[in-house]
Amino acid sequence: MDHYLDIRLRPDPDFPASILMGALYSKLHRALHDLSANDIGVSFPDHKTGVRARTPGDRLRLHGEQARLEQLMAISWLTGMRDHVTLEAAQRVPAEAQHRIVRRRQFNTGSPSRSKRYAKRHGIEIEEAQRLMETPAARQIALPFVQVSSRSSGQRFALFIEHGQAQSESVAGRFNHYGLSNEATVPWF
């Protein structure tokens, strides 16, 4: 991963940044899926954590080899978003950059469907499953998230994103179609 490309949201009086980032990220997910890309990672350099401030920010950074980023940008995945973003050209990653794992985190949010699945899996009544799941669901999540639609299931969900600790060495690996990985790092600067 020797290059990166920043996509920044423009302020919009009609749409909050969170809605625009969700739309942008959903479009990226579809593009990565359609390209079968497992070599492009993402990060959110301006993300904020904390229960009251958990936002991915207004900048999405794509990481990869220059040719691969150019291939992604050559397809029309930004259709409908061009008026809402400013796009920078791919640039070389600074030599002194640190590295981070950027991964998806899943949490028990206490949804009825989750309680139903838990009850079925453990052979208990739904009411008991809901009671057991109340405590974990009550905790407050401090990670940034985006609302996205899954390409495979079509379902909308909150995708919580965790930026791991900075480290000096990069770790190679594969990324999913959200540009996230549990083992591979992206440059952080």
What percent of the chain has a predicted confidence (pLDDT) above 70?
93
Question: How many angstroms separate the CA atoms of 53 and 74, rounded?
Answer: 34
Residue 61 in tokens: 């950074």
Question: How many angstroms separate the CA atoms of 71 and 7, rounded?
Answer: 16
Whether 57 and 44 have beta carbons less than 8 Å apart is answered as yes
29 a catalytic residue: yes
| Annotated domain spans of the chain | 3-107+143-188
Average pLDDT taken over every residue of the chain? 90
Catalytic choice (29, 47, 63, 163): 29
| pLDDT tens-digit readout, 141-154 | 788 889 887 777 77
Region 157-174: what's the mean pLDDT? 94
pLDDT at position 85: 97
Is residue 136 predicted with pLDDT exceeding 70? no
Closest C-alpha among 80, 90, 140 to residue 110: 140
| pLDDT tens-digit readout, 63-119 | 999 999 999 999 999 999 999 999 999 999 999 999 999 999 987 666 677 778 888
Q: How confident is the model at residue 132 (pLDDT cuts 50, 70, 90)?
A: confident
pTM of the model: 0.83
One of 3.40.50.880, 3.30.70.2540, 3.40.50.2300, 1.10.10.10 is the CATH number of 3-107+143-188, namely: 3.30.70.2540
Residue 79 in tokens: 């259709």
- Gyration radius of the chain over CA positions: 18
